[in-house]
Amino acid sequence: MATLFPTTVAPRGFVSTDPELAAIDASVRWPVLVCFLSAVHWMVVGTFLLVYASSLTHPQDAFPILGWFVTLSDNFSMFTYGRVWATAIDALVYGWASTAGLGLAVWLLARTSRATAGSPASLMTAVVFWNLGVAIGLTGIFLGDSTGVELLEFPAYASWILWIAYALFSLWAVATFLGRKPGNDHIAQAWLLVALFAFPWLYGAGSTLLTGDTAHRLPGSGVVQEVIDAWYVHGIYTLWLAPLGLAVLYYLIPKVSGISIRYGSNAQVAFWTWIIFAPWTAVHDLVGGPFPAQTVTIGLILSGLIFIPVALIGISLISTAFTAEGQQGHHGGVVFPFLVLASVAFVIAGASEQILSIRSANELLRFTMFRECNTCLWIYGFFSFIVFGAIYYIVPRLLDFGWRSATMVKIHYYTSLYGILLVIAMLGFGGFMQGQTLENTDPAVSIVTAVDVSLSYRIAATMCVSLIAVGNGVFALHLAWMLLDWLRLRVRGNRLAAEILLEPYEGDAAASSKEVAA
C-alpha cells in the first residue's frame, strides 16, 4: 500500500512549464501571498480565541491552567465569553476564510481567464484595507462596540473599511474577467462569479439594514431583523464561502490528479440547484419562532432540496478522487489529501443542513451545540481544508520554492483531520443529547439538567479544538519557515541585505567564478 504522503518534498521546480501560466502566477504573486499570510495569521488568532471561548463553557477543574482564563473573563469585560466567541468566529470568517478566499479568487480568476493581472497595486491596497477592517472590527468588539448581530458584529466604523477594500477588489476582478482570453471558460469561473456577486449583496444589505445607529436601523421592524440576519449568516456560508471553495475544488482536483472531473456533465445542474436551494437553509434558524408558519414551511421544503446539489457535487468530486487513486496507486503529493477531505467535509456539511431541514430534527437540535457543529463544519471542515490544499499547491508555484518538511505536513494533516472529525462527533452527538434533555416533556427537567448533560461534550470539544489549534500552529510555522528560507536564499545576491541577515553574500563568489571562467 502506498503512503498517503511522500517522505520528502521537492525543493525546486514548481513553476508551471506553460510559460503563459508562469507569467500569470508571477503577475499575482504578491497580492496572493499577502492574502495567504494575513489569512494564516487570522487563523491562528481565531483558533486560539475559539479554544479560549470553548474553555469558558465548562468548569475548568480538569485543566487547572485554564483558571487564568476564568479570572480574566470574570474581571475584564474584554475577555467575557460573549465577546471572545464573537471575535473568534469573526476572525475565522472574515480574517481567515474570507481573506484566503480573496487570495484564491485572485489566483483562480487570473488563471482560468488566462490573463495576467493588471494593477497589482490596487489589489494590494484592497488586501491591506481588508485586513485593516478586520483588525479594527475585532478590536471594536473587544472594546464593547459589538453590534450583537450574528456575523455582523463589526461596528460601523470597521465595516465601511471592508466595503472600500471589497469595492477595490471587485473592480480588479471585473476588469480581469472582462479581459479573459476567449474560449477559456471553466465551471470554476461560474462559482467564482456567484461568490464575488453574492458577497457585496449580502454584506451591503446586512450591514446597512442591521448595524449602525439604532435610529437608522429598520425602525420598529422587530423580528424582521432576525430574518434578515438568518439570510445573511447562511448566505455567507452557502453563497460566499461554499462557491469560493467549490471553484477551487473544480479547478485543482483535475490539475492535481491528472484526470478530468467525473460526471462533469452534472456540474451545471449542481451549480444552479445549489444557488437556488442552498440559501434557503436560512430558514433553519426560524423554525418555531415568531414568524408565519406557512413561510417557514415553504422555506423548509426549498432548503430540504439541498441534497440534490450536495449529492451531485459530492459524487462527482469524490469519485474523481477514487478514480485517480485507482489509476495512480497513490494520491501523489501533499495537496490532494486535503482536497479529498474538503470534498468529504462538503458532503457532511450538506448532510447536516439536510438534517436541520427536517422539521422534527430541527425542533430537537435547534438551540443545541449542533449549530456550532454546523458552523465548525463549514469553516474548519470544508473551507479550511480547501485553503490548506490550495496554499500547499499555490505558494511553491508563486515562489518557485518547495515546502520544507514532509513531517510537518503530515502532522498538520492528521491533527486537522482527527481534530475536525472529533469536533463534529462531539458537538453533533452532544447536540443530540442536549436536545433530548432540552425538549424533554418531563417538567422536572430544567436548563440546569441540559447543562449537566452537555458538559462532558463541551470539555471534549475544547480538547478537540485544541488539537485543531496544534495543527494550525504547525501549518503557520511551516509557512513561516518556508518564507524565511526563501528570503535567505534571495538576499544572498544583495550585499547589504546579506550582511543585515548574516547570510553569506554570493555576489563575490559569482564574480570570482566568472573571472576563473574568463
Partner 1 sequence: MIPIQNFRSFFALIFAIFFFTWFGFVVLPWISLGHLPPIQDEGSTDITPWDSSGEAHAGEHIYAADGCAYCHTQQVRPASSGADMIRGWGTAKDEDGKDVTRRSYPRDYIWQGQVFLGNNRIGSDLSNVGARYTDAAALYRFLYDPYLGDLHSSMPACRFLFVTQKISGQTSQDALVLPAADAPPAGFEVVPTAQAKSLVAYLLSLKKGYHLKPDEAGLPYVPPSTKS
Q: Give the footprint of partner 1 on residues 109-138 (CB under 8 A).
A: none
User: Which residue among 42, 48, 52, 85 contacts partner 1 (CB under 8 A)?
Assistant: 85
Q: Which of residues 234-253 bind partner 1 (CB under 8 A)?
A: 235, 239
- Crossing angle of helices 307-328 and 335-356, in 10° steps, is 160
Question: How far is 36 from 103, CA to CA, in rounded Å?
Answer: 6
Nearer to partner 1, 201 or 322 (CB): 201
Nearer to partner 1, 172 or 393 (CB): 172
Regarding 285 and contact with partner 1 (CB under 8 A), the answer is yes
Regarding 451 and contact with partner 1 (CB under 8 A), the answer is yes
Q: Which of residues 384-403 bind partner 1 (CB under 8 A)?
A: none
Options 42-50, 193-201, 464-472, 499-507: segment touching partner 1 (CB under 8 A): 193-201
Contact string (CB under 8 A) for partner 1, positions 144-183, x = contact: xxxxxxx---------------------------------
Question: Around Cβ 447, how many Cβ atoms within 10 Å?
Answer: 9
Question: How far is 518 from 485, CA to CA, in rounded Å?
Answer: 32
Q: Which of residues 27-66 bind partner 1 (CB under 8 A)?
A: 56-59
Q: Which of 90, 212, 108 has its CA nearest to residue 157?
A: 212
Question: How far is 342 from 249, CA to CA, in rounded Å?
Answer: 8
Options 244-252, 310-318, 368-376, 485-493: segment touching partner 1 (CB under 8 A): 368-376
Total site size for partner 1, rule CB under 8 A: 93
Regarding 74 and contact with partner 1 (CB under 8 A), the answer is yes
What's the closest the beta carbon of residue 388 comes to partner 1, in angstroms? 28
Question: How far is 101 from 98, CA to CA, in rounded Å?
Answer: 5
What's the closest the beta carbon of residue 176 comes to partner 1, in angstroms? 14
Nearer to partner 1, 285 or 353 (CB): 285
Nearer to partner 1, 132 or 193 (CB): 193
Question: How far is 483 from 387, CA to CA, in rounded Å?
Answer: 18
Regarding 18 and contact with partner 1 (CB under 8 A), the answer is no
Single-letter code of the amino acid located at 133:
G
Regarding 288 and contact with partner 1 (CB under 8 A), the answer is yes
Q: Which of 336, 399, 391 has its CA nearest to residue 25?
A: 399
Question: How far is 390 from 335, CA to CA, in rounded Å?
Answer: 7
User: Which DSSP string do the residues of 140-175 spell out, in sequence order?
Assistant: HHHTT----STT--S-HHHHHHHHHHHHHHHHHHHH
From the number of C-beta atoms within 10 Å of its C-beta (0-12, 13-18, 19+), residue 473 rates as middle
